[in-house]
Amino acid sequence: MRVNFQVNGDPVAVDIEPRLHLADCLREVLRLTGTHLGCEHGACGACTVIVDGAAVRACLMLTVQADGASIVTVEGLSSDDALSPLQTAFRKHHALQCGFCTPGMLTTAHALLTEEPDVDADRIRSALSGNLCRCTGYIPIVEAVLEARAAYQKDRR
């Protein structure tokens, strides 16, 4: 089937099987391997991408459902030149070790901060509770997201 959507600002058209889920389409067809597959049944959150502003599990969404949508993956969060303020805060607070959950953490946190730039630590923990991380213990991730709030608050003004 022919499906048209935008990925990180660029229009793309793919010919795919109707059963192909969005994460496999991003990884195998478009070769955007930043979106990771941990469990493929919605438990781990590593495949989270942003579809029309909402954080979505790409392993639970069919590619055909994305027809006409605008998708942001981890590759679209920053330019080649500089990390985004959220990414910079992750690095400063050592909010990643092996890096496998990081794309899902970043996309989930980016969607949250875009909607709610004034979130408190409890709300951040609740929003990230669908993203599993085995390395960090979550403390540094929450600290990084708290610090990145300032950039999103500025964007809104």
Site for other proteins, rule CB under 8 A? 27, 31-39, 41, 43-44, 73-75, 77-78, 83, 87, 90-92, 94, 96-97, 99-100, 102-103, 106, 121, 124-126, 128-142
Which residue lies nearer to other proteins by CB, 63 or 136? 136
Phi, psi of 97 (to 5 degrees): -120, -75
H-helix or E-strand containing 127? helix 121-127
Which residue lies nearer to other proteins by CB, 40 or 62? 40
Is residue 124 within 8 Å of 112, Cβ to Cβ?
yes
Give the shortest CB-96-to-other proteins separation in angstroms. Answer: 6
* Relative orientation angle of helices 102-115 and 139-156, to the nearest 10 degrees: 40
Give the shortest CB-157-to-other proteins separation in angstroms. Answer: 26
Which residue lies nearer to other proteins by CB, 66 or 77? 77
Q: Which residues contact 20 (CB under 8 A, 6 or more apart)?
A: 29, 62, 63
